[in-house]
């Protein structure tokens, strides 16, 4: 196995910084299942305040956070509406159906990552015993690195309110969206009943996500967290990393966005690469499948980690462990690869 020197596969690969490790080592802890871990309690209070919601819940992963949100909005036999390529529909192992007995209703995505408003509304089921009961609409922002406009989120919220539905945001990279938009996260999340925010992506914490929202929904989610095995004991060690991340690693996301754009512009010099210019920290590249296999092999051999999809698609993600030197090294390698072809 080749050693990865510069890891562009995801922003989940970050290592805790020295400052974050020191905060973790010094964390005051208790037993979070009993509700008396002071660091977890502080993190939950701080996140709820930042996002402008009643309450927050610290959970091990974004997958569990999304599942808890859906289980809080829905009962068995109910339904959620989400995009066909949304993470909570496509990439979370069908957990809502398997563990929550919740039926998904996927909607096709438009090229910009939105779902057609008329299609969303048409998918809402009437009150009829033949149908699953539609309970919640779920959006994802950022979506594949794209930032969905706030006006679009407001329009979906209006549909949800008009039909008496809940509204959930998979905001794993919500802070990336806020930095791009120049918007406070309280305003960004204002229309949602529940919001999932990941601490272990661009914010650099080693573990954890937050579910924030209405008090009754978070209370239900806390009960379901126990049921799903997500209750942790002296979790303050991990919560301290989250607190450090909120204090030190939000504004710096703009550096990741800058480097992603520089990376994309460098890759786009090669006509064989079809580069989608990034809005935040994710660069998508498409090419002929055979060419992609050769380029992926070359990158791997030289210690450059990228996420290679099928049919010649690549995903490059910048994060706090990717500096300008890593971008320079990657572009130099790609330049050499094409010069030798």
pLDDT for position 267: 98
pLDDT digits (tens, 9 = 90+) for 289-299: 999 999 999 99
DSSP state of 88: H
- Three-class SS of 247-295: HHCCCCHHHHHHHHHHHHHHHCCCCCCEEECCCCCEEEEECCHHHHHHH
Has residue 311 got a pLDDT over 80? no
Has residue 1 got a pLDDT over 70? no
DSSP state of 122: H
- Three-class SS of 128-168: CCCCCEEEEEEEECCECCECCCHHHHHHHHHHHHHCCCEEE
Burial 233-257, CB ≥16 within 10 A → b, else e = ebbbbbbbbbbbbbebbbeebebbb
Take residue 124 and report the two structure tokens written for it. 């809402």
Take residue 176 and report the two structure tokens written for it. 């990336």
In angstroms, the Cα distances linking 317 to 16, 72, 79, 250 are 17, 32, 33, 16
Domains of the chain as residue ranges with CATH: 18-249 (3.40.640.10), 252-340 (3.90.1150.10)
More confident residue, 85 or 340: 85
By mean pLDDT, which of 54-58, 109-113, 176-180 is the weakest?
109-113
More confident residue, 69 or 340: 69
**Mean predicted confidence (pLDDT) in 241-256:** 98
pLDDT for position 2: 78
pTM (2 d.p.):
0.96
**Mean predicted confidence (pLDDT) in 212-224:** 98
pLDDT for position 191: 97
Has residue 310 got a pLDDT over 80? no
Return the half-sphere exposure (C-beta side, CA atoms, 13 A cut-off) of residue 254: 9
Q: Check: CB of residue 2 under 8 Å from CB of residue 303.
A: yes
Has residue 43 got a pLDDT over 90? yes
Cα gap 167→124, rounded to integer Å:
13
By mean pLDDT, which of 197-206, 242-251, 307-316 is the weakest?
307-316
Mean of per-residue pLDDT scores for the chain = 97
Other Cβ atoms less than 10 A from the Cβ of 25: the count is 9
In angstroms, the Cα distances linking 247 to 43, 86, 289 are 11, 29, 43
Cα gap 270→233, rounded to integer Å:
51
Has residue 275 got a pLDDT over 80? yes
Has residue 173 got a pLDDT over 70? yes
**Mean predicted confidence (pLDDT) in 253-265:** 98
């Amino acid at each position: 196995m080749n050693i990865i020197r510069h890891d562009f596969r995801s922003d989940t690969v970050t290592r805790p910084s020295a400052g974050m490790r020191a905060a973790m080592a010094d964390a005051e802890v208790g037993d979070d299942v009993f509700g008396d871990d002071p660091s977890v309690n502080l993190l939950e209070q701080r996140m709820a305040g930042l996002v402008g919601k009643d309450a927050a819940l610290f959970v091990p992963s974004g997958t569990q956070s999304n599942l808890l949100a859906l289980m809080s909005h829905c009962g068995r036999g109910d339904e959620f509406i989400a995009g066909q390529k949304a993470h909570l529909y496509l990439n979370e192992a069908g957990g809502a159906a398997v563990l929550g007995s919740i039926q998904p209703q996927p909607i096709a995505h438009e090229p910009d990552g939105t779902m057609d408003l008329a299609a969303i509304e048409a998918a809402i089921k009437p009150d009829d015993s033949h149908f699953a009961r539609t309970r919640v609409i779920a959006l994802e922002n950022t979506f594949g690195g794209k930032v969905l406009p706030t006006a679009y989120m407001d329009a979906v919220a209006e549909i949800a309110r008009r039909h008496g539905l809940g509204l959930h945001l998979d905001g794993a990279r919500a802070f990336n969206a806020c930095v791009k938009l120049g918007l406070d996260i309280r305003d960004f999340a204002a229309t949602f009943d529940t919001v999932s925010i990941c601490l272990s992506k661009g914010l650099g914490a080693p573990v954890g996500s937050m579910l924030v929202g209405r008090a009754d929904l978070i209370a239900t989610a806390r009960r379901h967290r126990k049921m799903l095995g997500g209750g942790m004991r002296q979790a303050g060690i991990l919560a301290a990393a989250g607190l450090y991340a909120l204090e030190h690693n939000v504004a710096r996301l703009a550096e990741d966005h800058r480097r992603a754009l520089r990376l994309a512009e460098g890759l786009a010099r090669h006509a064989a690469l079809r580069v989608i210019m990034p809005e935040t920290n994710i660069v998508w590249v498409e090419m002929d499948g055979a060419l992609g296999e050769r380029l992926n092999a070359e990158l791997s051999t030289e210690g450059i980690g990228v996420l290679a999809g099928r049919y010649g698609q690549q995903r490059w993600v910048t994060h706090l462990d990717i500096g300008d030197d890593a971008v320079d090294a990657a572009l130099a390698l790609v330049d050499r690869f094409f010069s030798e072809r």
